[in-house]
Amino acid sequence: MTQLNTQQSLYFNKTATTYNKNMHVQYEVFTKLLSLLDTSTFETITDIGCGTGIITKKLHDHFNSKKTLGFDQSSSMIDHAKSAFETDTLTFQNKSAYNFSSNDHAELIFSNATLQWLPNLNKFFSLLKKKIDKPTTIAFSIFLPETYNELASGLKNSIDPSIIIAAERFESFNAIETICNQHFTDITFSTHNITHSYKSIMELLTIIKQTGSKELSPTIQFTKTKLSNLEKWFLSNHNAIIASYKVALGVIRIH
């Protein structure tokens, strides 16, 4: 979940204590990705972008793994993971996805709701492939640019047409598929769509903020008037405060 750059890492540091109670969508995506692996067994697991460690712990227990490693670029997230979940067989490290090493190799290399934050996805998969010299399964979920499309439209139409949200910069499904096909041969891709309703625009914005992404360009201050106009736009166009999430799911098998 957190492997973008120093600025993004520092922001995720601030959300370590709020992430778990607001990660409903991320957990739903994890459950969907896990369902694609349910006929498999893995004795060793590496979780890239493990965040607070709560998903890593569930992954570890689900497969009854003998050795699980979670790593993340956010030092605060890793501190939280270590204090809450670390054991002899479940460990955590503070490092970037780009620093994956041959020592991190596992039967399952897993990444949930993380890779959309990487500035160079092709570089990541290229480096990952070079470090893998044994059979493995790579399973990942990546949020797509259609995520929060209602919010993107609402901000543009009710506040400022030049506003760009972070999700609009994510790689497209076709781009992700092309990148992976450059490096791997046995790949299964699918997409998963989620729509959630929220009580108010403030609830939606708070959940976005407390799960690690507040990037808007240009940066804006949400006054009462702006929030009111944005909420009115949602109710006028959707009859509710909704958010759509579109996710790419990939399972790569290296024989």
The per-type count for the chain, helices as H runs and strands as E runs, is: 10, 9
What is the pTM (predicted TM-score) of this model? 0.90
What is the reported pLDDT for 21? 60
User: What integer pLDDT is reported at residue 214 of this predicted model?
Assistant: 57
pLDDT tens figures, 28-42: 999 999 999 977 899
The pair of structure tokens assigned to 83 is 């204090």
Longest dimension (CA), the chain: 57
Q: From 24, 86, 35, 97, select the one nearest 60 (Cα to Cα).
A: 86
The domain defined by 6-145+169-196+244-254 folds into: Rossmann fold (3.40.50)
Stretch 52-77: mean pLDDT, rounded?
A: 95
Six token digits for residue 170: 């994510």
Higher pLDDT, 103 or 21: 103
Compute φ and ψ for 54, nearest 5 degrees: -65, -40
pLDDT, average across residues 164-169: 94
- Closest among 33, 56, 25 to 251, alpha carbons compared: 33
List, for residues 182-241, the tens digit of each pLDDT value: 999 999 999 999 999 999 999 999 888 877 665 677 888 899 999 999 999 999 999 999
User: Hey, how many other C-beta atoms are within 10 angstroms of the C-beta on 138?
Assistant: 23
If you count them, how many residues does the chain have? 255
